[in-house]
Amino acid sequence: MKHRAIHRGVALITALLIMALITTLVFSLSWDNSLNLRRTYVSMYREEAIQGAIGAESWVLGILRQDLEDSDTDHLGEIWAIDIPPLPLEGDDVRGEIFGQIEDLQGRFNINNLIGANGEVDEPSLQQFRRLLRALGIDPRFAGIAADWLDANQDAEFPDGAEDPIYTSMIPPYRTANQFLTSTSELAALEGMDKATIDILLPHITALPGRTAINVNTATGPVLQSLDENLSVADVERLLSEREESGFVDIAGTFSSLVTPDVLNQLEETTNFFRLKVIVRIDTVRITYYSVLERGPRGNVTPILRSLGTT
Ligand SMILES: [Ca+2]
Ligand SMILES: [Ca+2]
């Protein structure tokens, strides 16, 4: 009698254990299923978001082409300079949006101007970069360090330079690029550079293929101030209010008394390089798509560098 009761007890416990096991199994199967489903949706939405961004890009190529037909100069009052407002994207039960902006990259300092055709440092551009760093409240010694990063040789600039012997002794060790940059984010690798400093610098610099002029109609305040060492913050404010949104009426007239003749030769009121930034959100998926666009003299616009960000 006692034996049978124990036997029944064991059978009950076994049954309960099996039940628990099945429940766990079923739960884990359905969890895996919903996770797989979610993964599929996320990768599908991401793909659709990228397609949406590429669609926006081809629309923008048309805007920039048309702009060249309609105007002889480029300034912040033109259609391309207006932010693309959020456009809703609607599916069966999924919602999203797409928005963005086009920016004139020649309103920034082109870091590749630091180097001449034979890989040597371009002294006037180095001086200008020092002035830009000062205008931004950044240690100007980064100009020499950046020049060494790009120039073809291994001779450190004096007094502020850094070549391979500095970088190869770091942990982990690395080497200087010794060539043109394709991305300004590479400057984060400079000796002594930190996140806070690079964040201040990035909105005012660009890395364009070869030497480029500055479009004073779109240049940022600090970039205008970098044009001459005698320009004050008040001068820059006056220049910004003179150009307003439609640009300077007479660049030579305005700048000839403010900058040296060499710098005056580097100033333009037109632009060949733009950057499109598109943000696409579908459900919980969000992508940021960047495309550097080069506009040729006959209005042909070509994407030359595309990248995806996360912010
Ligand atoms: Ca224009
Ligand atoms: Ca070098």
Beta bridge partners of 159: none
Number of C-beta neighbours around residue 149 at 10 A: 26
Going from the Cα of 251 to the center of ligand 2, the distance in angstroms, rounded, reads: 35
Residue 158: predicted pLDDT: 72
Calpha distance 7→3 (Å, rounded): 6
Contact call for residues 91 and 189 (beta carbons, < 8 A): no
Ion ligand 2, residue ranges at CB < 5 A: 148, 151, 176, 178
Going from the Cα of 269 to the center of ligand 2, the distance in angstroms, rounded, reads: 33
Calpha distance 144→259 (Å, rounded): 22
Tell me the ligand closest to 274's alpha carbon: 1
Tell me the ligand closest to 157's alpha carbon: 2
Calpha distance 235→225 (Å, rounded): 8
Going from the Cα of 229 to the center of ligand 1, the distance in angstroms, rounded, reads: 30
Query: Model pTM?
Result: 0.84
Going from the Cα of 295 to the center of ligand 2, the distance in angstroms, rounded, reads: 31
Going from the Cα of 107 to the center of ligand 2, the distance in angstroms, rounded, reads: 26
E strand or H helix at 205, and its extent? strand 205-206
Residue 161, Cβ density class (10 Å: 0-12 exposed, 13-18 middle, ≥19 buried): buried
Tell me the ligand closest to 269's alpha carbon: 1
Beta bridge partners of 103: 275
* pLDDT, tens digit (0-9, with 9 covering 90-100), for 130-183: 999 999 999 999 999 999 888 878 888 777 888 888 888 888 888 888 878 888
Going from the Cα of 135 to the center of ligand 2, the distance in angstroms, rounded, reads: 25
Q: Which long-range contacts (CB under 8 A, 24 or more apart) does 134-139 make?
A: 135/221, 135/222, 135/225, 135/226, 136/200, 136/201, 136/204, 136/222, 137/200, 138/197, 138/200, 138/201, 139/192, 139/197
Residue 30: predicted pLDDT: 79
- Going by C-beta distance under 8 Å and a sequence separation of 6 or more, which residues neighbour residue 294? 272, 273, 301, 302, 304
- Is the peptide bond preceding residue 209 cis, with omega within 30 degrees of 0? no
Residue 311: predicted pLDDT: 46
Going from the Cα of 167 to the center of ligand 2, the distance in angstroms, rounded, reads: 11
Rg of the chain over Cα atoms, rounded to whole angstroms, equals: 28
Tell me the ligand closest to 164's alpha carbon: 2
Name the stretches of the chain with pLDDT < 70.
Answer: 1-3, 310-311
* Domains of the chain by start residue, with CATH: 2-106+273-309 (3.30.1300.30)
